[in-house]
Amino acid sequence: MMFDGRIALITGGAGGIGRATAHALAREGATVVLAGRDLTALADAVKEIGSGRADHVAADVTDASSAAQMVETVVARHGGLHVAVNNAGVLGAVGPVADIDAGAWDEVLAVNLTGVFLSMKHEIAHMRGHGGGTIVNVSSNIGTHGRRPALAAYAASKAGVGVLTRTAALDHIADGVRINAVSPGASDTPMSLLPGESREDRAERMRTAAPSGRVAETSEVAAGILWLASDAASHVAGHDLVIDCAATA
């Protein structure tokens, strides 16, 4: 029970990777609080996890007051915050740079980069005054590690998450807050489907496109997140763990 007695917040907790992470943290003894905008999906995920150790909170991570309220609610209801997984993200604007709508660009940056900043700002503010904590930001192998055409906004936002993570780790390690990132490759959620593609089509594409021949299971991404958040990684901070089975090696 690596997380016995700990309170964990997962943004985007009802989605693919967030939900798998919430399940894994709960199995390891954490009380998990899932955050997002879709209350029905969040309630469904909480019910699925069960065990009386799951809760949800409505939050839009692009909104400064909502992000502050999210952390306040977790602390008020559960008495603390020890682990945060900033996972909320969108693929957003797809197309060559010259054709990306400026508003669509802003939206991707608002969720994927500003959302991580706002979430971390309030998580750290609580953790540093209450014995520290650990934070894992969910980035992507598209950005710092690899490139794909037609995904400039997503790639730029995720490269930003990498730099933000390293800087925040340096700023706050002396406060007892360990901050890292994971950079998954294509994983088994709708986000990795091409427009109009089925899961079977994707499996066929990945057989030749990925060195491993397949997408990652969401549980495989969650395993990396849990390790970074756990005491087993007690001397790891400012790290970005690529989980793509050599896709960007």
Catalytic residues: 154
Report yes or no: 75 and 133 within 8 Å, Cβ to Cβ. Answer: no
CA pair distance 227, 85, nearest whole angstrom? 12
Shortest Å, Cβ 90 to ligand NAP: 5
CA pair distance 81, 67, nearest whole angstrom? 14
**Which CB atom, from 18 or from 162, has the smaller least distance to ligand NAP?**
18
**Which CB atom, from 92 or from 133, has the smaller least distance to ligand NAP?**
92
**Which CB atom, from 87 or from 144, has the smaller least distance to ligand NAP?**
87
Applying CB under 6 A, the residues found at the interface with ligand NAP are 11-12, 14-18, 36-38, 41, 59-62, 87-90, 111, 115, 138, 140, 184, 186-187, 189, 191-192
- How many whole angstroms from its chain centre is CA 231? 19
CA pair distance 124, 84, nearest whole angstrom? 9
Shortest Å, Cβ 242 to ligand NAP: 10
Shortest Å, Cβ 180 to ligand NAP: 15
Alpha helix ranges (H) inside the chain: 16-27, 39-49, 64-78, 102-109, 115-127, 152-172, 199-209, 218-229
Shortest Å, Cβ 41 to ligand NAP: 5
3-state secondary structure of 104: helix
How many Cα atoms are found within 13 Å in the side-chain-facing hemisphere of 205?
11
Shortest Å, Cβ 247 to ligand NAP: 10
**Per-residue b or e along 176-190, where b marks 16 or more CB atoms closer than 10 Å to that residue's CB:** ebbbbbbbbbbbbbe
Report yes or no: 245 and 185 within 8 Å, Cβ to Cβ. Answer: yes
**Which CB atom, from 109 or from 234, has the smaller least distance to ligand NAP?**
109
Q: How far apart are the first and last CA of the chain?
A: 33
Closest CA to 156 of 167, 140, 169, 170: 140
**Which CB atom, from 133 or from 184, has the smaller least distance to ligand NAP?**
184
